[in-house]
Chain A
Amino acid sequence: MRVEVLFPEFCNLFGDTGNIRFIKASVPDAEIINTDNRSVPYFVNGDVDMIYIGSMSERKQEIAVSRLLPYKDRLMELIENGVVVLATGNALELFGKHIKDKDEIIPMLDMFDFSTDRYIQEIRHNSMFIGEFEGMKIVGYKSQFSSCSGNFAEPFIKVNGGYGNDVDDKSEVKYEGLRYKNLFATYLLGPFLVLNPPFTKYILRLMGHDGSLAFEEEAMDAYNERVECLEDESTVFWMDEHG
């Protein structure tokens, strides 16, 4: 198994590196390729089973897009071929058309038909989340200065508690993230795979692994407790600065 991590030197803001640590612990012989922002991504000329990109600062989004733009077609080709791509936190926004920041329009990769509104001088959105994907409960956190809307090829997670892609969306049925073939992009940030061992098993199986996890019992124990808490009727999903 070969996993390429894009720009780990700055796409690592909220504990996102935990995802790759969990994969490596679960699949010790996995080859992890860390590609810095000044290098040509490995996927351009080589085969990978998975590409991962994590949360970054607002300014670094522009650097990341500028580095990936020349290889956009190759990236799309790999997605069409079923390569697993996971994007956590605001890395999701890179796949859209643009980010609107006040009067400025910042072009993104324009691979999917959605766009982002950034509101950096306003209150930061912090929330907990529980949802469902293919019968699996998905849990996590959001912490962002932006919100996106548009046409998400196939929504990733149905929201059971918390907020969807557009945090102002008041619809009864809401969705979080973008899914297209084996591309999974979500605002849920940080150690998404550690928090969601069933989903980790799912993507490991997509890559031909048997899906066994490191410290599976302990990971499932923490996960089940979190699911139970988030399914409690008294749960308030909006978080203040102390959680």
Chain B
Amino acid sequence: MRKIRFFIALWAGKLLLFVFKRIGRTRDDKPGMASMRLCEDFLAQVAKPELTIAVTGTNGKTSISSMVAEMLSKQGLTVSYNDWGANHHAGQARCILDTVSIFNKPVKDACVIESDELISPINIPRIKPNYMIVNNVARDSMLRNANPEYIAGQLRKACDGSPETVVIINADDPLCCFIGEKNRKVYFGADYLHTNPFENIAKDFSVCPVCGASVKYEYRNYRHIGKFICTDCGVATPARDFLSKGVSADSTSISVEEKAGCFDYPLISRGVHNVYNTTAIVALMRDLGNSPEEVAHLLSVTKLPEFRETRHFVDDVEVICRVAKGQNATSVSTVFEHLAKDESKKELIILLDEIFDNPKKQETVAWIYDTDYEFLNNDNIRKIVIGGPRCKDHYLRLLLAGLPKEKICCVKDIFETAKLVDHKGVDKIFILHDVNCVSRGHAVRDAVIEHIKAKGGKVNAR
């Protein structure tokens, strides 16, 4: 009976997938949803490709999984990947549906699954991936993720439920580096990167998980990520199997030390979190048996997903549209820190509310008091335009962060924000938008570009 139910679920899913592909809805989860509804343990019963890789953790999942999928494809493997951000049950089922035939035989070489960390205790033991990358655990939306300790507990259960999975884990993250006691673990990390990290308001790791004493950092690279030790009980950063030793002067490559030596790899994007993302990928690809040269080559021809960041030049001003996850103090603070350290003169448009469609609807703004708006109190930032239904809350938060009123504009209609920035005399205009309003963020970016053009600005070919 269990088998019959499974095959009905498989065939229903495959049929829907076929139809959806024919009508161009290739990124729709419904085939996966149908299979999961018809057979609860569909993910356990469906055959998996020879290589299945899950990527989870709070930040960096999409970047890492998309790069891994692209690199495997460039090696000539056929790869299925839930690249549309559908990292829940249905999206994962839809992704795996694409890797099997109607007889439940694998028809693809590999499957890369971006997996939401909250559901990982359910899905990872069912999928039993060959590898699971855990990039970090940090403060995220309280509504769904509660708190980092809770998420670390979920990941621990996921590892415990799939002990045969090799866990590639960030040794520099004290919130997650101790999970997976039963798994083979490959630790990655980074030496001190001289990033001079700012102090954050919200400290996700402040006391030793064993004895409650204060932890000492030998160094921090960003937020709670770094080399730590508890001087009371001795709990410390595990030895790293892959350790990034340094970033080149032009920030285009990193040296990664491992047992076989120290090798250089291209760094596809700046920012300390990208050093960790890249080191995680190097650890995976090397553990899969690829040579350092092959991994370096693959990295050199791989790109980050475009929706995370776009850049345009208009009248010699760089217009940068970038994701900063609303409700996620870690993500937004990291972006704010990057903006503060970027010495160019700039104006910002901030669109971080999740709910735009109903101005009457409320959403929590508690997270903005965990977010380091203080970093924006910086001479390089000439003006901040806040847009969205909760703009008054962001405005008050900026005032409490010490920003002068004359630097801040506040408007509910996000499309009005484009008219409030001035490109004269600045090097860059940033548009920061929530991950759930990518198209709106891009529309505001286009409105900014049009606004500059209307003032006589010319698009530069760069």
Contacts and interface: CB of A to CB of B under 8 A. Distances in A.
A9 B207 contact: yes
Given A36-B214, A243-B354, A15 B369 contact: yes
Interface string B408-446: 000000000000000000000000000010000000000
Interface residues of B, number: 40
Contact of B360 (A124, A195, A229): A229
B202 interface: yes
B363 A243 contact: yes
Contact of B369 (A10, A18, A60): A18
A120 interface: yes
Given A242-B354, A243-B363, A58 B400 contact: no
Question: Which of B146, B369, B370 counts the most A-chain CB atoms under 10 A from its CB?
Answer: B369
A72 interface: no
B357 to A, nearest CB: 11
A38 B370 contact: no
Interface in B109-141: 139, 141
A88 to B, nearest CB: 10
Given A15-B365, A143-B364, A225-B392, 7 more contacts: A14-B142, A14-B370, A15-B329, A17-B201, A57-B150, A214-B399, A236-B361
A143 B146 CA distance: 8
A191 B395 CA distance: 15
A207 B200 CA distance: 30
A241 B143 contact: yes
B366 interface: yes
15 contacts: A9-B203, A10-B206, A12-B203, A13-B139, A14-B370, A15-B365, A15-B367, A60-B149, A124-B143, A189-B142, A194-B369, A194-B396, A215-B396, A229-B360, A243-B363
Report the interface size class on chain A: 35 or more
B147 interface: yes
A218 B395 contact: yes
Contacts of B393: 222
Interface in A7-40: 9-10, 12-18, 21-22, 25, 36-38
Contacts of B201: 17
Contacts of B355: 242-243
Contacts, number: 127
Nearest to A25: B400
A214 B392 contact: no
A65 interface: no
Given A124-B143, A126-B143, A143-B143, A190 B206 contact: no
A59 interface: yes
A134 interface: no
Contacts of A199: none
Nearest to A13: B147
A63 interface: yes
B352 to A, nearest CB: 12
B144 interface: yes
Interface string A206-243: 00000000110011011001100110101110011111
B213 interface: yes
Pairs of residues from A and B, 9 with the lowest C-beta to C-beta distance, nearest first? A190-B366, A243-B363, A18-B369, A15-B369, A241-B144, A9-B206, A15-B366, A222-B392, A57-B149
A163 to B, nearest CB: 15
B78 to A, nearest CB: 34
A37 B149 CA distance: 17
Contact of B150 (A58, A190, A239): A58
A194 B396 CA distance: 9
Interface string B247-266: 00000000000000000000
B408 to A, nearest CB: 10
A221 B395 CA distance: 11
B212 A63 contact: yes
B460 interface: no
A232 B360 contact: yes
Given A124-B146, A241-B141, A214 B400 contact: yes
A52 interface: no
B195 interface: no
A215 B392 CA distance: 12
Nearest to A226: B362
Interface in B378-411: 392-393, 395-396, 399-400
B362 A230 contact: yes
Contacts of B364: 128, 141, 143, 190, 239, 243
B332 interface: no
A180 interface: no
B282 interface: no
B368 interface: yes
A202 interface: no
Contacts of B354: 242-243
A189 B146 contact: no
